[in-house]
Amino acid sequence: MEFFDTHAHLADDRFSPDRDEVLRRAREAGVTRITEIADGPAEWELALKLCRQAPGGLAFSCALGLHPYHAADFSAEVLAALKAHARLPEVVAVGEIGLDYAKGSAPREVQFPVFEALLDAARALEKPAVIHCREAFPDTLAALRNLYPSRPKTRRFWGVVHCFTGDAEQAAEIAGLGFALGVDGPVTYPKNEGLRTALKAAGPSVLVLETDSPFLPPQSSRGQRNEPRAIPEIAAKLAETLGLPLEDLARAAMDNALALFSQRPGI
């Protein structure tokens, strides 16, 4: 069985002491592909370096973006640099970008226009968008509807709403627009029955696996640094939730992830 961790932040300092070990454990757990997500210009080169060095024999790709936490850093220069970098073959997506209205974030008036500009860039570059949405579902949906008024015709997904934690109705709205849903550690938390109900309703054809390492550890390692080897635990819980054998879920999630990050038409 092979797994694709579609969302990890392995350039994070927390992996500096033992990154090679982390990747070795990932490989042992069956993770063969990772998309490294770079949250801002300061991380873009590190993400590209990971892709080029492919440590641990893993197939790396990357997404370059500007996380909503850094929305105030947006400028015409950042946008131009993103467009230039996004043309590199290692860069399979624009992200993460999005909206985060949790306490302590930049105000909506700052975040929303930045998100729209970045989403517009992703569309113009014909790259999938990796979207972060926290306590901002109505605005996220409004932006997606505005920029992507119809479902994709030459590929399966316009992008992914990563770390999906909403309800069945929200899952259906996102999938209906042509976006995949990213499933990570929270699906394993006992209290998240509502999330599991939503994912079951969405079904295996729109779900991809991710860890968001070093964040969002699954139930067995809560409170600790997360790493890509957690993917099988997340996959097992998702398979149980959907009532599928683990092998079938793993295959579906791999197919979806390859389709999500591929620029080849017709899949």
Identify which of residues 11 and 239 has a Cβ nearer to Zn ion in the complex: 11
Identify which of residues 86 and 130 has a Cβ nearer to Zn ion in the complex: 130
Is there a contact between 22 and 48 (Cβ–Cβ < 8 Å)? Answer: no
Least gap, CB of 163 to Zn ion (angstroms)? 6
Contact between 212 and Zn ion by CB under 5 A: the answer reads yes
Indicate the residue type of 132: H
Q: Which of 33, 85, 127, 132 binds Zn ion (CB under 5 A)?
A: 132
Is there a contact between 49 and 88 (Cβ–Cβ < 8 Å)? Answer: no
Identify which of residues 5 and 212 has a Cβ nearer to Zn ion in the complex: 212
Least gap, CB of 73 to Zn ion (angstroms)? 16
Contact between 210 and Zn ion by CB under 5 A: the answer reads no
**CA–centroid distance for 28 within its chain:** 22
Q: What count of other Cβ atoms lies within 10 Å of the Cβ of residue 21?
A: 12
Site size toward Zn ion, by CB under 5 A: 2
Is there a contact between 259 and 159 (Cβ–Cβ < 8 Å)? Answer: no
The token pair that represents 117 in the structure block: 């500009």
Contact between 182 and Zn ion by CB under 5 A: the answer reads no
By the 10 Å C-beta count (0-12 exposed, 13-18 middle, 19+ buried), 206 is classed as: buried
Identify which of residues 12 and 116 has a Cβ nearer to Zn ion in the complex: 12
Identify which of residues 23 and 130 has a Cβ nearer to Zn ion in the complex: 130
Stretch that binds Zn ion, among 76-84, 120-128, 185-193, 205-213 (CB under 5 A): 205-213
Least gap, CB of 2 to Zn ion (angstroms)? 22
Those residues whose C-beta lies under 8 Å from the C-beta of residue 142, and which sit 6 or more positions away, are none
Least gap, CB of 183 to Zn ion (angstroms)? 13
Place of tokens 């791999």: 254
Please give the residues from 35 up to 94 whose contact with Zn ion meets the rule CB under 5 A: none
Least gap, CB of 132 to Zn ion (angstroms)? 3
Q: Of all helices (H) and strands (E), which one includes residue 97?
A: strand 91-100
Please give the residues from 213 up to 252 whose contact with Zn ion meets the rule CB under 5 A: none
The token pair that represents 10 in the structure block: 């392995």
- Binding region for Zn ion (CB under 5 A): 132, 212
